[in-house]
DNA sequence: CATGATATGTCCAGAAAAGGACATATTGTA
DNA sequence: TACAATATGTCCTTTTCTGGACATATCATG
């Protein structure tokens, strides 16, 4: 699946997604509006890293408080969801993140 | 110095270099063999982030224990330096890191 | 000869983060 | 009707990390 030099990949992915959890959440929500439970599931399938909901929900609140996400309550099949969408500030924050990454790999 | 979308740059740089301190050290030593004090100085000029030597030296030891760096004692003008050079494993680790970054920005 | 720069190292208290439990409610399935 | 999945939230203990101090030694400059 990965080349010879990719032996440390899992460790690095784990560290990046854990330390930059808020950024990774923004990256997912940037594609389409999502709610906590979907984010958790997608996180685990995308990165193969367990995401505690005890860490996720407080982080979502912080992202909304910072103005990077905006939530609206949604009723779907009797389920009360809190759907988050990215804001302009959120996109700017991601833009800064991608800028730093580009400097790191210089491409 | 930076565009409109770069307002969050400093925060992100700070978080990346602090959380991936070992990786950033490897990136510097990859270019040329360096000793602790030079790494500290270069760090501060490159990233504009203060690097405590109380954090640096233990990290260098861990990197050597993991086989990513190799040190040799050097005497230069009566100064006892511990010069670190990157190993093949160290380069492979960096390779994995750059791979993860490329996936993040998908380029 | 004192002060700042170079150079490397340890240690500890307080702060932050992680892991996991506690808590609740609905829906679908066996 | 019990159990798994969906869905969101809090709380507490343990572990990890951060900032800063303690410690030592040489060299250059005023």
**Per-domain residue ranges for chain A?**
4-105
Query: pLDDT tens across B5-23, in order?
Result: 567 999 999 999 999 999 9
Nucleotide of closest approach to B39 (CA, C1'): C7
CB of B85 lies under 7 Å from some atom of strand C: no
CA distance A29 to A39: 8
Q: What percent of chain B has pLDDT over 90?
A: 84
For residue A107, the model assigns a pLDDT of 60
Sheet hosting strand B69-76, strand order edge to edge: B34-35, B79-86, B69-76
> Is residue A1 over pLDDT 50?
no
Binned at pLDDT 50, 70 and 90, residue B2 comes out as very low
* CB contact at 8 A, A38 and A51: no
Which tokens go with A5? 């030099």
The CATH code belonging to domain B4-105 is 1.10.10.10
Query: pLDDT tens across A91-107, in order?
Result: 999 999 999 999 999 76
Which tokens go with A56? 């996720």
Residues of B in contact with A12 (CB under 8 A): 23, 93, 96-97, 100
């Amino acid at each position: 699946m990965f080349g010879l030099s990719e032996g440390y990949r899992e460790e690095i992915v784990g560290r990046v997604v854990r330390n930059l959890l808020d950024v990774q959440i923004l990256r997912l929500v940037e594609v389409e509006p999502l709610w906590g439970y979907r984010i958790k599931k997608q996180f685990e399938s995308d990165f193969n890293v367990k995401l505690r909901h005890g860490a996720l929900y407080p982080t979502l609140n912080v992202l909304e408080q910072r103005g990077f996400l905006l939530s609206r309550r949604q009723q779907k099949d009797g389920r009360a969801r809190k759907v988050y969408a990215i804001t302009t500030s959120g996109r700017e924050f991601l833009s800064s993140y991608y800028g730093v990454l580009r400097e790191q790999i210089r491409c």
